[in-house]
A and B are shown apart, each in its own frame.
Chain A
Amino acid sequence: MTTQQFDLMVVGGGPGGYVAAIRAAQLGFKTALVEKEHLGGVCLNWGCIPTKSLLRGADIAHTLKQAEHFGFTFDNLSFDIKKLVQHSRAVASKLTHGVAYLMQKNGITIIDGSASLADKCLLDVEHEGKVTQYKATHIILATGARPRNLPSIEIDGDSVWGAREAMTPTELPRKLLVIGGGAIGVEFASLYNDLGTDVTLVEAEQRITPAEDADISALAEKAFVQRGIKVLTNSIVQSIDTTGADTVALISGPKGDQQLEFDQVILAVGITGNIENLGLESLKVETEKGFLQADGFGKTNLAGLYAIGDVAGPPWLAHKASHEAVICVEKIAGVDGVKPLNKDQVPGCTYCRPQIASVGLTEAQAKAAGHSIRVGRFNLNANGKALAINEAEGLVKTVFDENSGELLGAHMIGPEVTEQIQGFGIAQQLEATEHELAQSIFAHPTVSESMHESVLDSLGIALHK
């Protein structure tokens, strides 16, 4: 049999891979996509979407808890976590089918199996013990990433959950230890706390959500502590002992060591790229710290090989992967005006309560980069809509370059800020200054009025502060 040949092959069907395949097919490439498990990747099946489905349940729990404040009382409230998980899985399954439909609609060949490079522009795909070889002029690796283990603590799927197990519980943990205060860790801490679990969150850095602006982290920690989450920063889980009925964790922090008991542990200390068994070593494809090395358009050091999404390094976000997919394919096709990824314009969203959203440089990063800056702040406790919905905990912080007026960064914490950050993203893309933002009319009453006030505050003319 002759080797089947494609113009472009994509390895991995997540939000990087399937978007790359669609864009390639739109441009006229004869395109194939290799996926070893489920179309949609981690994002649709084990990440963004199922966790947001679960967090909707947490939102409802929170709403029910404050029902009395609004005049409602009720008895016999009960909760079945299996039903919530069922909802989450149903949404994931629906979207996976949606991706399959998109592949079919765009005439993309789906190849089931695990791919590895046999040579330049040559892929071996192993499926149920049988290996088939394919030729492709351009190969895009979008194999994603998986949770990282610690030297002393590993995910075992039983006492120690990774994200995958943490989103398919069969019963609610009583006492939960979440190791890692990044985006994934705080989302699970927030979720299980709202559902009624006693949660302890441990972060090695001096603040949770260490990638966010320090003011945002401080507010997030304050909100978490108020909700009853125990937050241990500057702390490290030295070991866990799972031999007894309860898991015993040895945690060392600023106040010394302490031993605490839990019935469940979630490990969320970052991720590592899926670079194994791809045939990269023998072809001398460059990797660093577990991720593939690629230029601003996804091109690796190997002829005809590209890498996008999580496997190509941070930020590990689905929308960054999809954006990289488009620019990588368009660059190959010679589309005019393709610009490399600007990592300062990738928004980041964390769906804990209150939500966190940001784009661009933090105040500290802007200073470190040598900008003379103008900072605006506006607290949601002076925002009418936030008070009306009883979610007045939050802050909008804007960082502008004093000379050019460029919006260097925007940092938000509060209700539905993940839906509002795009406003700042568009302003950045259009290179709007604080002047244009100040002149824009924001509707009243909205939470996003605080975005306007924050900009006005940077000019020293906030109206409601």
Chain B
Amino acid sequence: MTNEIKPINMPKWGMEMSEGDINVWYFAVGDQVNAGDDLVDIETSKIINTVTATDSGILRAVLGATGETHAVGALLGVIASAETSDADIQAFIASNASAAAETVAEVAAPAAAAIETAPAPVAIPQPANGLSKLAEGEDDSLVAASPVARRLAAEYGVNLNNITGTGRHDRVSKWDLEAAVLAAGGRLIGNASTITATGAVQFGDDSNVKATPVARRIATQLGINLLECRVSGDRGRVCKADVEAVAALKNKMPAQAGGTTAVSSNNTVESQPISGMRKTIAARLQASKQTAPHFRVHIDAEIDALLEVRKQINNSNSDAKVSVNDFIVKACASALMKVPAINVQFDGEQLSYFSNADISVAVAIDDGLITPIVTDANHKGLVEISNTTRDLATRAKLGRLKPEEFQGGSFCISNLGMYGIKQFDAIINPPQGAILAVGAGEQRPVVKDGELAVATVMSLTLSSDHRIIDGAVAAQFMSVLKAYLEQPATMLG
């Protein structure tokens, strides 16, 4: 086993991620961690995602406590073998101090104080040598194994191909697995010693500590070792109050959100820190407006023919509820294929042209907005676009989108027509090159062949980044788009 020390760093998910909040650690200092285990949940701007361990070993230190915000790349924890000395761990942390110092200012102090290290457990058979042999092998998903054995195998990092099953039809049982782990010189989960060389009880594995289920869960969530807690519950168990007492000591309880300031006799101001999502929206839109010189072109499209086609599609197809917005997505996808200079991303230096239209659709959600992507919209039919958008919008509101479902995109549509907005300008969703703002379709007087007539008209405004898109190109895109919307049969071909 090597003495190598492995860092756990704040990941960078997507181009715009600069920091993340620690949501919950799944392991406490001193726990055995196997490669592939879920380590820690990080809340970025729009989602919560899980960092998984890339290495196996003991979680020796945690530098990012629950609730803290850390910069991308910051050192959050350390995984090392059991025999690596505390001094080496501290030296490693110190050498990463520059990264740790990037912790955003308001939480820097508690972060520094929260460094805990686990003492090296002694007199425990070292599992890694034997177990690493058990870990080798091809995909074991087809090996017959009981559900319990399969889950335990994942925890031990054991490949089931290496276990001889003695169950019926040679199925691998829990007993088979544990026998193999022991035979390989490993130790069974839950039997770790907590006695150090000096004989003093340290904050090591707390899995044998008697605790109420609630106390154990809270302790895990707050990253508190149950061995730190006094025991005041019935039957000698650590109870909820005991964990909360330690949490209060360590200042780990969730901060009181907001505060109320009296301004005048009956006018109160409630101040609240903004959410991660709101921070991202603020940073991105400000950067967009500051770096991308926006220019806008505006056009009106008559959509009576489109509404008629929509009615026919919806009436003839039970599984279709195609909206006007779905037509706009389809029309934009077709227009982007005709005018590929709009279907771009620009990061300030490099201009990327996309072969397919990945169209971001702005969806308003409770605490902000998110732009799930209808990928390959140029290859999708209207009904497919409609059903995809409904699914994306549903899951966007529930916060259940995967990062790849809202990060990226080659073009964006923002539609405020349902609120009766006639016309508006949108801010480009960087690094995209342009965004279309869609107003309400409404009956308006139009002049045709010198006669006054009534048509359903929709106002469309394209905001483009003038660094990379010229006025004539934007105008060309808008006229192609208008043609598709006014003669919808042409985009269905």
Within 8 Å by CB of A405, from B168, B391, B395, lies: B168
With the chains together, A283 CA to B399 CA distance in Å? 32
Q: Which partner residue on chain B sits nearest A28 by CB separation?
A: B398
Least Cβ distance of B1 to chain A in Å?
A: 35
Closest 7 CB pairs of A and B: A435-B168, A303-B321, A28-B398, A120-B321, A334-B395, A301-B318, A433-B168
Query: Could you tell me if A120 and B314 are in contact, using CB atoms closer than 8 angstroms?
Result: yes
Query: Could you tell me if B318 and A137 are in contact, using CB atoms closer than 8 angstroms?
Result: no
With the chains together, A432 CA to B397 CA distance in Å? 40
Q: Which of B146, B168, B320, B400 has the most CB of A within 10 A?
A: B168
Q: Which of B314, B393, B400 has the most CB of A within 10 A?
A: B400
Within 8 Å by CB of B319, from A28, A303, A405, A431, lies: A303
Query: Could you tell me if A137 and B394 are in contact, using CB atoms closer than 8 angstroms?
Result: yes
Given contacts A7-B397, A430-B146, contact A334 B320 (CB under 8 A): no
In the complex, B147 has a CB within 8 A of chain A: yes
Query: Could you tell me if B394 and A405 are in contact, using CB atoms closer than 8 angstroms?
Result: no
Residues in A neighbouring B394, C-beta threshold 8 A: 7, 137-138, 332-334
With the chains together, A36 CA to B112 CA distance in Å? 60
Query: Could you tell me if A304 and B318 are in contact, using CB atoms closer than 8 angstroms?
Result: no
Q: Which partner residue on chain A sits nearest B397 by CB separation?
A: A7
Residues in A neighbouring B321, C-beta threshold 8 A: 120-121, 303-304
In the complex, A150 has a CB within 8 A of chain B: no
In the complex, B235 has a CB within 8 A of chain A: no
Binary contact readout A318-337 vs B (1 if CB under 8 angstroms, 0 otherwise): 00000000000000111100
Within 8 Å by CB of B169, from A284, A333, A405, lies: A405
CB contacts under 8 Å to A, within B380-413, are 386-387, 390-391, 393-395, 397-400
With the chains together, A28 CA to B320 CA distance in Å? 25
Binary contact readout B160-173 vs A (1 if CB under 8 angstroms, 0 otherwise): 00000001110100
Beyond A301-B318, A303-B386, 13 additional pairs, beta carbon < 8 A: A29-B397, A29-B398, A120-B321, A121-B321, A137-B394, A303-B318, A303-B390, A304-B321, A333-B395, A333-B398, A334-B395, A434-B168, A436-B167
With the chains together, A121 CA to B167 CA distance in Å? 52
Q: Which of B146, B167, B319, B393 has the most CB of A within 10 A?
A: B319
Query: Could you tell me if A137 and B395 are in contact, using CB atoms closer than 8 angstroms?
Result: no
Residues in B neighbouring A120, C-beta threshold 8 A: 314, 321
Within 8 Å by CB of A284, from B147, B168, B318, B398, lies: B318
In the complex, A104 has a CB within 8 A of chain B: no
Q: Which partner residue on chain B sits nearest A7 by CB separation?
A: B397
Q: Which partner residue on chain B sits nearest A405 by CB separation?
A: B168
30 A–B contacts from the bound complex (CB under 8 Å): A7-B397, A27-B400, A28-B398, A29-B397, A30-B397, A121-B321, A137-B393, A137-B394, A301-B318, A301-B319, A302-B318, A302-B319, A303-B319, A303-B320, A303-B321, A303-B386, A304-B321, A332-B394, A333-B395, A333-B398, A333-B400, A334-B391, A334-B400, A335-B400, A404-B169, A432-B146, A433-B168, A433-B171, A434-B168, A436-B146
In the complex, A155 has a CB within 8 A of chain B: no
In the complex, A346 has a CB within 8 A of chain B: no
Least Cβ distance of A297 to chain B in Å?
A: 13
Q: Which partner residue on chain A sits nearest B316 by CB separation?
A: A284
Q: Interface of B with A (CB < 8 Å)? A: 146-147, 167-169, 171, 314, 318-321, 386-387, 390-391, 393-395, 397-400
With the chains together, A320 CA to B107 CA distance in Å? 50
With the chains together, A120 CA to B321 CA distance in Å? 7
Within 8 Å by CB of A283, from B146, B318, B386, B400, lies: B318
Query: Could you tell me if A137 and B314 are in contact, using CB atoms closer than 8 angstroms?
Result: no
Given contacts A283-B318, A285-B318, A435-B168, contact A303 B397 (CB under 8 A): no
With the chains together, A201 CA to B386 CA distance in Å? 55
CB contacts under 8 Å to B, within A281-325, are 283-285, 301-304
Residues in B neighbouring A301, C-beta threshold 8 A: 318-319
With the chains together, A435 CA to B167 CA distance in Å? 8
Least Cβ distance of A197 to chain B in Å?
A: 49
With the chains together, A431 CA to B173 CA distance in Å? 13
Least Cβ distance of B397 to chain A in Å?
A: 6
With the chains together, A334 CA to B398 CA distance in Å? 10
Q: Which partner residue on chain B sits nearest A122 by CB separation?
A: B321
With the chains together, A334 CA to B205 CA distance in Å? 36
Residues in B neighbouring A303, C-beta threshold 8 A: 318-321, 386-387, 390
With the chains together, A332 CA to B390 CA distance in Å? 10
Given contacts A120-B314, A284-B318, contact A430 B397 (CB under 8 A): no
Given contacts A137-B390, A285-B318, A430-B146, contact A28 B168 (CB under 8 A): no
With the chains together, A302 CA to B169 CA distance in Å? 46
With the chains together, A112 CA to B333 CA distance in Å? 44
Query: Could you tell me if B399 and A28 are in contact, using CB atoms closer than 8 angstroms?
Result: yes
Residues in B neighbouring A283, C-beta threshold 8 A: 318
Least Cβ distance of A439 to chain B in Å?
A: 9
Residues in B neighbouring A333, C-beta threshold 8 A: 394-395, 398, 400
Binary contact readout A22-33 vs B (1 if CB under 8 angstroms, 0 otherwise): 000001111000
With the chains together, A394 CA to B173 CA distance in Å? 34
With the chains together, A431 CA to B398 CA distance in Å? 33
With the chains together, A123 CA to B231 CA distance in Å? 56
Q: Which partner residue on chain A sits nearest B386 by CB separation?
A: A303
Residues in B neighbouring A432, C-beta threshold 8 A: 146
Q: Which partner residue on chain A sits nearest B391 by CB separation?
A: A334
CB contacts under 8 Å to B, within A78-101, are none
Query: Could you tell me if A430 and B147 are in contact, using CB atoms closer than 8 angstroms?
Result: yes
Least Cβ distance of B112 to chain A in Å?
A: 36
Within 8 Å by CB of A28, from B318, B387, B397, lies: B397
Least Cβ distance of A464 to chain B in Å?
A: 23
Residues in B neighbouring A335, C-beta threshold 8 A: 400
Residues in A neighbouring B393, C-beta threshold 8 A: 137
Q: Which partner residue on chain B sits nearest A300 by CB separation?
A: B318
